[in-house]
Structure 1
């Protein structure tokens, strides 16, 4: 991590903390990895790391904070998870109760924060390879869908896989697979390519989270496991309190994308 990179991350987090940026974070802090956020009470989170280990595609675990700490020491020690994301989603007993721009009023000394890898990292790699990202080109949030695939349960945590979708021309899909597979800590290779109905998606124009994108007549939808999965799972787990990032409104770390590049390709899913 360079001093310049750290300064960029800190500056963007400061803008978010000040309320100057409340939208999606795609495109902010170029070159730096972003993360999904899950916050749970300590006594209700014991099975969540096990859930992540069993479901590494949607839940690649980057860091777990100390109980009561809002500071992710490994990926951005000077950050505050209560204020440094543009928007949050707060659930009580599986029911959405608020979508605030900071969670100071909800913070408690028994909370534990989990940071999960984010697909914006492989999007950076795809863009660097000259492969355009549809939602960026169209100026919208990435579309996300609840599928008919089930995650592997761990205690109370059980539920459906959520995927994000990006369309590509058929002749570049193998390249897309190889590039994204180099980042297993950021969801890795796609989990499905082609017919959305095979994974329980009836209408690409009606995503469960994010915004619809236009899929060209010469393009194929490509689906990746998504870090919004824990939100779908939490609705079923019904913890007394659960706090997440709003979809697309991520936490900006001080870590560069290259830190997560394994250089390893992958077979076609």
Structure 2
């Protein structure tokens, strides 16, 4: 099924279409009103270090929840959400190298896997659209451009590396308004981390994103950059675990949680 066919369908139909392998593209604009999440899946012996990495880098890795070892569900994100099948596409890394992209993790799922769900900027995009902003990647049915910046994350043992940023051109006159809107969504990376000159954060060719698709920047617009949930993929490449799995950039896990209700704020360990 193609993206336009899914746009006006209810969330459960979208989920079942993805689960059955009927769609493997980006999820921006799908199941509007529901929280979408990035994924990082690691063996249990690396889980504590990765959890510490998320806590040390809340802008890039705002944690929505994580699973028990071997459990392909995160209860607070919806009882029917299956980590193994409900993202449209997954990246499988072996020894830090992207080895393959697959649409179903069931054949390679391990009893020691711990799944981490990390908030996604698609949440604040819904709020920006409601406020009358035009988001070019949604308008053009492409994946938001993402870049590896020179901004360093705070390391945790073997996890470290550059911050990945997503970019959306916005009207210069409305940047402050957008900042205020996004600030209400800390689980969706919150406020931008940079506005303006890409070169000052190590991006020297704005027309060539490392992930996603390029978009034009008009004369009355400025590039606005947010911390991005693809950042853990860079950290995983640096850490070089024997195996690790993430979502494919832009192809998120759609949860059963409304964007406007809990968990809007980043995950807190139970007392």
TM-score bucket of the superposed structures, by smaller chain: over 0.9
Q: Residues of 2 paired with 1:147 and 1:81: CA distance?
A: 29
Distance 2:165 2:128 in 1: 18
Q: TM-score, normalising length from structure 2?
A: 0.92
Contact 2:65–2:117 (CA under 8 A) maintained in structure 1: yes
Matched, 1:193 2:192: no
What is the TM-score of this pair, normalised by structure 1? 0.93
Q: Counterparts in 2 of 1:126-165, with a 5 A limit?
A: 126-165=128-167
3-state SS of the aligned residue for 1:185? Answer: helix
Q: 1:182 aligns with which of 178, 181, 184?
A: 184
| Alignment map for 1:56-135 (pairs within 5 Å) | 56-135=58-137
- Name 2:47's counterpart in structure 1: 45
Query: Are the equivalent residues in 2 in contact too, given 1:144–1:210 (CA < 8 A)?
Result: yes
Contact 2:187 2:264 in 1 (8 A): no
Task: Quote the Cα distance in structure 2 between the aligned partners of 1:159 and 1:43.
Answer: 20
Runs of 4+ in 1 over 6 A off after TM superposition: none
CA displacement at 1:248 relative to structure 2: 0.3
Provide the C-alpha distance between the structure 1 equivalents of 2:34 and 2:97, rounded to a whole number of angstroms: 33
Please name the residue that 1:15 is paired with.
17
Which is worse superposed, 130-139 or 153-162? 130-139
CA distance in 2, matches of 1:158, 1:22: 29
Given that 1:210 and 1:247 are in contact with CA atoms closer than 8 Å, whether structure 2 keeps it comes out as yes
Relative distance call for 1:177 and 1:237 in structure 2 (3 A) is same
Indicate which of 245, 248, 253 corresponds to 2:247: 245
Tell me the SS of whatever aligns to 1:12: helix
Instruction: Name the CA distance, whole Å, in 1 between partners of 2:17 and 2:191.
Output: 32
Counterpart-to-counterpart distance in 2, 1:114 and 1:181: 23
String of CA shifts for 1:121-152, please: whole Å, max 9, x gaps.
00000000111111111221000000001000
SS state of the match for residue 102, structure 2?
Answer: coil
Residue in 1 that maps onto 2:168: 166
- SS of 1:90's equivalent? strand
Are the counterparts in 2 of residues 181 and 188 from structure 1 also a CA contact under 8 Å?
yes
Equivalent residue number for residue 267 of structure 1 = none
CA positional deviation for 1:30 = 1.4
Q: Distance in 2 between matches of 1:120 and 1:253?
A: 12
1:24 and 1:250 mapped to 2: Cα distance?
Answer: 7
Aligned length: 257
TM superposition shift of 1:262: 7.2
Q: Secondary structure at the match of 1:99?
A: strand
Deviation for aligned residue 1:80: 1.1
